[in-house]
Amino acid sequence: MASVEGYSLAVASMESARPEIDLAALVETYSALLFRVAHSVLRSPAEAEDVVQDVFVRVLEHRRSLQEVRDMRVWLVRIAWNFALDRRRRIRPEQWDESFAESLAGSSVPADKALDEAQRVSSVLRELERLPRGERHVLLLSAVEELGTAEIAQVLGRSESAVRALLFRARTRLRERLKKRGGER
């Protein structure tokens, strides 16, 4: 059993013979996903890394009850999502890391095309920010994190039909706004 800074990386109760949950494996399996979730909300790598650390601190705090978690992936994403939203409320949009759009643009393309792509991504992100909160949230979880409808419903505490409706409205509204913006150029 490995340990990190005095914390046991395996959860086992002395009184029961429950199987152990390997926290090192949880970190290895889910840290990239949790980073993407936080980064999609915060648009800052440093802030996203802090959120991931906070999630695993929460896991350590609840290590004795991890066996009761039905879907570990959804539980962790929900924690990361909520932590990221809490941090975002404290950060003004103009403070976001401008390199977020550039990080989404392709790195294997010529510089002029990468710049154009970063500008398009930036435009999409601006329009995404203008969407109503519920629509923006389901679109981020669906498009950026590639979560399914059922998982998004669990993360956001909504029904699957509500998530499908929000996704449809968000995609439609975003498409219309981007077409309108493209026509203004």
- For the stretch 81-117, pLDDT in tens is 999 988 888 765 544 444 555 555 555 667 667 677 7
Cα separation of the two ends of the chain? 60
How many angstroms from the chain centroid is the CA of residue 34?
A: 6
Residue 105 contacts residue 114 (beta carbons within 8 Å): yes
Average pLDDT, integer, range 53-58: 93
CA–CA dist 171, 131 (Å, integer): 10
Output the pLDDT for position 56.
Answer: 93
Longest Cα separation, the chain = 68
Query: Does residue 53 contact residue 102 with C-beta atoms inside 8 Å?
Result: no
- Residue 121 neighbours by CB under 8 Å, 6+ apart: 101, 104, 105
pLDDT at 93: 53
Burial class (CB in 10 A: 0-12, 13-18, 19+), 169: middle
Mean pLDDT within 28-40: 91
Average pLDDT of span 121-136: 83
Domain 1-94: give its CATH code. 1.10.1740.10
**Of 35 and 66, the one with more pLDDT:** 35
Q: Which structure tokens are listed for 69?
A: 């978690």
Give the model's pLDDT for residue 129: 81
Task: Quickly tell me which residue has 């029961």 as its tokens.
Answer: 16
**Would you state the pLDDT for residue 125?**
77
pTM: 0.58
Distance between CA 162 and CA 136 in Å, rounded?
13
Secondary element (H or E) of residue 8:
strand 7-8
